[in-house]
């Protein structure tokens, strides 16, 4: 609807340009059309007249009057008013909302989807957990954020690639290997010889036992077999990484998350990409040597101080492979690149972006986009749940899924804005009550399914949605108008959630839409003797069910027909 109104205003502006009220060479400003806070001020308001007043050398209200007069004939608008300093308030005709229901029924699953991404490639990198242990609850929030962002970008016309970046090089992998080796030699975390930085969870014993048994694990089509030799640290490292990658893959599969690409940090070194990136940075004159170290002049690109790239011992600081990795994304055609990270990574973002700009390869300023999220506090019985025996020091994602279920876990982890603190109440997530938002939303979907079953049980004809749409004029109650308005918002919410990288907007919208449907059900009988009214009311409910189903799909949630 907003796009239709925008087109009407643009045509009015062109009319005023043709009659010289507005300059013919005027660059039309990016005016805003937004929903009003109160229905008494119309359905939408536009600020076009106030932005155009200066180039038109006219008073905003007078120009607003001319714009309204120049609006082309249409069936979308019931009336148009001018308010305040020159806002144009649009009151939609009832038929506009009825047409939206017709569109929902015609488009089905495609309703709310768009082509705004124009088929351009968007890469979403998420989870990217070190393969050193089971995924924890924070990884779960990362996983559902990334998965929902990928679904949203796909729904708005982008060609989406989901990517997992494995940090399979560095100190943490060495610590994993020596931990598994210690277990393979019969040590426990309580023994004096246990590595100081070793991992202590029971899963380390599982890896060691599997390695000593000569088990095989398959990762990305490659079979890795335990060498059974407790002294072969390299073989242990190779097996442990493969074993835990497989475990993480199983956790993510249980969570409904998958990837198109698995990128190994180690490949950046074996393929010479890190050295190549450093050579390019030096060649472009953005580096200098001082104190035996190689520095990148990141202050040239907005960082608060220059950063060391290569330390005096010849090793690289951690942001250098990050620059090389993101350069590879650009070279692989990720015009839009989104990375989901914990908020503790905030300090490294400026230097990565500075490194990418210093390469002078045409990467846009501000690329890539980062979505930062806060960690999760899990509560049960009013107390915080922190530990898992299997992991040793944290609650695993698998623990949470087993306790709360996949749908509830996904919804609760996506329901709030990523950069806000999140409290996950297991008791609430498990409850079958209206206080549980995911239950409340899914029950709205199931409620409509039940009404359709009830029609058959009463011997009444199935709902005729075409006839129902034709009789939408019978729907004039406040609850029906609220529901019609809520339905029409869905495409805008999808576009905003994708454009702003804020999937929680879908979760919030679904709760509001479910609330409108439940209120409608309680206030008005749907199965009435009047066939016209019955068809109209149930058609509205069926359209609502479709939008709920579409929204649940964007969050990776099921739409049950029975609860």
Long-range CB pairs of 518-523 (<8 Å, 24+ gap) are 518/434, 518/440, 518/443, 518/444, 518/447, 519/479, 519/482, 520/479, 520/480, 520/482, 520/483, 521/447, 523/477, 523/479
Q: Number of helices and strands (H, E) in the chain?
A: 20, 17
pLDDT at residue 389, as a whole number: 58
DSSP letters for 507-546: HHHHHHHHHHHHHHHHHS-SS-S-HHHHHHHHHHHHHHHH
Q: Which residues have C-beta within 8 Å of that of residue 331, sequence separation ≥ 6?
A: none
Question: What pLDDT digit, counting tens, does each position of 403-456 carry?
Answer: 999 999 999 999 999 999 999 999 999 999 999 999 999 999 999 999 999 999
pLDDT at residue 363, as a whole number: 95
pLDDT at residue 195, as a whole number: 95
Instruction: Name the pairing type of β-strands 216-219 and 159-166.
Output: unpaired
This prediction's pTM: 0.91
Neighbours of 506 (CB within 10 A): 28
pLDDT at residue 392, as a whole number: 64
Neighbours of 317 (CB within 10 A): 17
Per-residue pLDDT of the chain (563 residues; tens, 9 = 90+): 888 999 999 999 999 999 888 888 888 888 999 998 888 888 999 999 999 988 888 899 999 999 999 999 898 899 999 998 899 999 998 899 999 999 999 999 999 999 999 999 999 999 999 889 999 999 999 999 999 999 999 999 999 999 999 888 778 899 999 999 999 999 999 999 999 999 988 999 999 999 999 999 998 888 999 999 999 999 999 999 999 999 999 999 999 999 999 999 989 999 999 999 999 999 999 999 999 999 999 999 988 889 999 999 988 888 899 999 999 999 999 999 999 999 988 878 889 999 999 999 999 998 999 999 998 999 999 999 876 656 666 888 998 999 999 999 999 999 999 999 999 999 999 999 999 999 999 999 999 999 999 999 999 999 999 999 999 999 999 999 999 999 999 999 999 999 999 999 999 999 999 999 999 999 999 999 999 999 999 999 999 999 999 999 999 999 999 98
Q: Which residues have C-beta within 8 Å of that of residue 354, sequence separation ≥ 6?
A: 296, 298, 300, 301, 302, 303, 307
The conformation of residue 448, written as its DSSP 8-state character, comes to H
* CA pair distance 174, 291, nearest whole angstrom: 29
């Amino acid at each position: 609807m907003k796009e239709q109104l925008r087109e009407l205003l643009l045509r009015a502006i062109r009319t005023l340009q043709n009659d010289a009220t507005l300059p013919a060479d005027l660059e039309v400003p990016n005016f805003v059309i937004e929903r009003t806070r109160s229905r008494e001020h119309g359905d939408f308001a536009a600020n076009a007249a106030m932005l155009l007043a200066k180039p038109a050398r006219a008073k905003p209200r007078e120009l607003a009057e001319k714009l309204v007069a120049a609006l082309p004939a249409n069936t979308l608008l019931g009336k148009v008013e001018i308010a305040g300093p020159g806002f144009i308030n649009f009151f939609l005709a009832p038929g506009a909302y009825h047409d939206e229901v017709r569109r929902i029924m015609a488009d089905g699953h495609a309703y709310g989807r768009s082509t705004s991404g124009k088929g351009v490639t968007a890469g979403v990198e998420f989870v990217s957990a070190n393969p050193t242990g089971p995924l924890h609850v924070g990884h779960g929030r990362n996983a559902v954020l990334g998965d929902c962002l990928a679904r949203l970008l796909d729904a708005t016309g982008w060609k989406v690639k989901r990517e997992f970046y494995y940090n399979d090089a560095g100190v943490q992998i060495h610590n994993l290997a020596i931990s598994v080796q210690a277990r393979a030699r019969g040590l426990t975390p309580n023994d004096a010889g246990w590595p100081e930085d070793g991992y202590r969870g029971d899963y380390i014993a599982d890896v060691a036992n599997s390695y000593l048994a000569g088990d095989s694990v398959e990762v990305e089509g490659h079979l890795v077999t335990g060498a059974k030799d407790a002294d072969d640290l390299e073989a242990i490292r190779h097996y442990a990484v493969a074993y835990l990658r497989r475990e993480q893959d199983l956790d993510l599969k249980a969570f409904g998350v998958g990837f198109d690409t698995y990128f190994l940090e180690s490949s950046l070194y074996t393929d010479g990409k890190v050295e190549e990136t450093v050579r390019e940075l030096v060649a472009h004159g953005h580096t200098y040597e001082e104190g035996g170290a190689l520095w990148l002049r990141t202050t040239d690109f907005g960082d608060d101080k220059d950063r060391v790239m290569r330390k005096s011992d010849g090793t690289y600081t951690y942001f250098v492979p990050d620059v090389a990795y993101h350069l590879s994304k650009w070279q692989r055609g990720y015009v839009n690149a989104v990375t989901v990270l914990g908020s503790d990574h905030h300090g490294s973002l400026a230097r990565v972006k500075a490194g990418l700009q210093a390469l002078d390869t045409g990467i846009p300023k501000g690329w890539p986009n980062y979505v930062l999220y806060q960690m999760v506090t899990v509560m049960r019985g009013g107390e915080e749940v922190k530990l898992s025996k299997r992991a040793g020091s944290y609650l695993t994602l698998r623990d949470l899924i087993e306790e709360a279920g996949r749908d509830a876990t996904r919804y609760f982890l996506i329901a709030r804005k990523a950069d806000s603190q999140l409290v996950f109440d297991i008791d609430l997530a498990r409850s079958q009550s209206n206080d549980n938002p995911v239950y409340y939303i899914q029950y709205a979907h199931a409620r409509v399914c039940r009404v359709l079953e009830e029609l058959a049980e009463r011997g009444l004809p199935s709902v005729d949605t075409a006839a129902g749409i034709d009789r939408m004029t019978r729907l004039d109650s406040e609850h029906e108008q609220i529901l019609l308005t809520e339905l029409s918002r869905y495409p805008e919410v999808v576009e905003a959630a994708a454009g702003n990288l804020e999937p929680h907007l879908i979760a919030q919208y679904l709760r509001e839409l479910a609330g409108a449907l439940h209120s409608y059900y309680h206030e008005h009988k749907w199965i009435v003797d009047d066939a016209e009214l019955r068809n109209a009311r149930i058609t509205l409910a069926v359209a609502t069910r479709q939008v709920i189903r579409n929204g649940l799909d964007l969050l990776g949630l099921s739409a049950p027909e029975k609860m």
